Amino acid sequence: MNYKNYNYFYKSLKGLILYKNSYTTFSSFLKIIITISSVYILLRDKTISRTKKNNIKVIKKNLAPKSKVFKDNFEYF
């Protein structure tokens, strides 16, 4: 299941809370809250992991190799 599926699932569960009187899928309001909370945690974890992954890529991209740093700066050493 990818991130978009989580997102749509989360939105549909939120709709169930908004229109709870029209649906009889869940037997109690507490079950809906627990389900939405667990989906929210999954979404948050997915977002955090993607952010960390992207930050690592950016950091690796911005690192200059030692040869470039020391090649032009011989006069300072």
CA distance 41 to 13: 14
- Chain segment 48-60, per-residue pLDDT in tens: 777 777 666 666 6
pLDDT digit of tens for each residue in the chain (77 aa)?
A: 444 555 555 555 555 544 444 444 555 666 666 666 666 777 777 777 777 776 666 666 666 565 555 555 555 54
Instruction: Report which DSSP code applies to 63.
Output: P
Extract the tokens encoding 9.
Answer: 């699932």
* Alpha carbon distance 14, 72 (integer Å): 59
Token couple for 58 = 């950016």
